[in-house]
Amino acid sequence: MLSNNGTGAPAQALAASPSRADNTTKVGFVYLMPLVLFVVAPQLTLRMPLSWQLQEVDEYALANAASAAAQAASGYDYTITLLRGPAYLLALYLFLRHADTGFKILFQSLPYALLLGLALASALWSHYPEKVIINFGHMVGMMLVSIAAVRYFNARLSALYTWLALLNSPALLVSAAVCLTLPGLSIGFDGRWIGVLGNANSLAVAALCEIWLAMTVLQTSSHPKARLVRWALLPLSWLTLIGTGSKTSLLAALLLSGLIFTFAPLQNASTSKRVVRLAAILGLALLLVLWVLVLKPELLSYAGFLHALGRSTNLTGRTELWAVALELINQRPWFGWSFDSNLSVLKALHHVTSAAGQFHSGYLDLLVRSGVAGAFLTLALMAQVSLAAWRFRKTDYRAAVCYLALIAAVLLHNIAEASLARDTHPIWMLILLLYFDLIYRRVVQSSTTDTASHRTIPRQLEPSHRRPTRSHRHP
């Protein structure tokens, strides 16, 4: 299914078919089950909208809407952990069945392995070490689930992302249906769609993931079933995303869509067509700048730009959270406050902003939780997967464009939301799937090359057992 770049290089041909280097040329559906359980688990524990939860908090909290919202959302749902536990155990068993390949993958993913070590060590300075152990289990489990999934699909990219799109779609479908038919029960007090995922931002993240999955399927598959993605899942995802009112997720979706639509068609384009397309894009950008300068100069100011986005000057309270985050980073700059879902932070702070479970900035949130060490390892992982995706363009150009578009969107999304290195976050799970898929290909290609080199003896090194022949010519 993966396209060839036409060079006929054997290494690329081997990279497109990892099964040649793996002892298991075909694995059963059991390798997909951990991923199915991981994705479906949150959908089996439908959470009531925040507007319903507010009725259950005490009257004192109701006097402050921000505190009430935080109190309602601060509880941890152990049902999801119980549902995902079997998925992690099954993935661990499958990992140990092929431990040789599994540990090769682990050695290639050094930034993530060191991040796991840092997360486990953070239990030593956390006020809630049991929570650190739970989150560490999620981080290991997500790695094992990803490895099992990429082994099952065995380089069939469109099949992997078609499955993910279909598994993720029920929550969006039910949420959209409930919001359209029962708006009083499924739309928050601020008018944003909440659906059945508990809050608007969670629903927006699910829609953002579905948009990328659908677009990746369209770019990597020519199967007739891809029409289902084009005509059903993609419009449903955009409708839901717009309904949530999440500006950050909307900008991230627009960015990845623009990058894919701009660069994916350039795979077989001539140099002149590429120049024309890029010139047209630059021309449109110039027209947009002129339109702003002439007709909308107020957008050039900070307040005017935020007003156009529907944001206040403090970014709906984010700047206050960022100030608190900077204070916390200054207190523990190197290794952070631990991987305990900011519970140690909540204990250390004693005002309304302390009720936030995240700091609405993936970079600040990462520095608070893991310090400079964890931020460096996470960014090293992102750099590693970006470089691997860039190299992957020689094997499958369109898939590489989709990968790089997602990475760019995630980096943008984490300016105002937090998903980097957050346990069980859907966006982080997508990054890990990309990460271990690309590493799996490299490991398999290396194993195949080594096997071929051992089986093939260079002709110039072959021992010669023939007697030297005399020339029959006479002087």
d(C-alpha 343, C-alpha 416), whole Å: 21
Q: Which residues contact 212 (CB under 8 A, 6 or more apart)?
A: 253, 256, 402, 405, 406, 409, 430
Q: Is residue 53 scored above 80 in pLDDT?
A: no
Q: By C-alpha distance, which of 227, 213, 233 is closest to 170?
A: 233
Per-residue pLDDT at 199: 85
- What is the domain partition of the chain in residue ranges? 10-268+311-450
**Helix pair angle (426-455, 129-153), 10° resolution:** 50
pLDDT at 116 over 90: yes
Identify the three-state secondary structure at position 472.
coil
Q: Which of 16-20, 76-80, 240-244, 385-389 has the lowest mean pLDDT?
A: 16-20
Tokens encoding 380? 């090293």
pLDDT of residue 189: 82
Helix, strand, coil shares, percent, the chain, to 5: 70, 0, 25
The predicted pLDDT at position 455 comes to: 54
| Cβ atoms of residues 22 and 444 within 8 Å | yes
Q: pLDDT grade, residue 382 (50/70/90)?
A: very high
Please tell me which residue, 388 or 469, carries the higher pLDDT value. 388
Higher-confidence residue of 458 and 272: namely 272
CA dist 43 to 36, 191, 276, Å?
Answer: 11, 23, 46
pLDDT for res 69: 35
Percentage of the chain lying above the pLDDT 70 cut: 72
Q: What is the mean pLDDT of the chain?
A: 78
Round to whole Å and give the CA distance between 462 and 474. Answer: 31
Is the pLDDT at 412 greater than 60? The verdict is yes
Mean pLDDT of 215-243: 83
- Write down the pLDDT at residue 218: 87
Task: Please give the pLDDT value at position 313.
Answer: 56
Residue 365 pLDDT > 90 = yes
Half-sphere exposure of 283 (CA within 13 A, CB side): 6
Write down the pLDDT at residue 20. Answer: 39
The predicted model gives 181-201 an average pLDDT of 86
Task: Assign 187 to helix, strand or coil.
Answer: strand
pLDDT classification of 358: cutoffs 50, 70, 90: confident
Closest by CA to 234, choosing from 208, 267, 260, is 208
Q: What is the pLDDT of residues 251-290, one digit of tens each?
A: 999 999 999 988 888 887 777 776 777 777 778 777 767 7
pLDDT recorded at residue 310:
60
Least confident span in 100-109, 142-151, 439-448, 455-464:
455-464
For residue 400, count CB atoms less than 10 angstroms from its CB and return exposed for 0-12, middle for 13-18, buried for 19 or more: buried
State residue 197 phi and psi, 5-degree precision.
Answer: -105, 5
Cα separation of 60 and 202, whole Å?
27
CA distance 317 to 176: 28
Torsion sign (Cα): 392, 393, 396, 400: positive
pLDDT of residue 309: 58
Position 71 scores a pLDDT of: 37
The verdict on pTM exceeding 0.95 is no
Q: Note the pLDDT of residue 63.
A: 36
On the question of pLDDT at 98 being above 60, the answer is yes
**Cα(417)–Cα(425) distance, integer angstroms:** 12
Mean pLDDT, range 321-341, rounded to an integer: 91
* Whole-number Cα distances in Å, 135 to 4, 31, 81, 140, 405: 41, 23, 10, 9, 28
Q: How far apart are CA 195 and CA 417, in angstroms?
A: 20
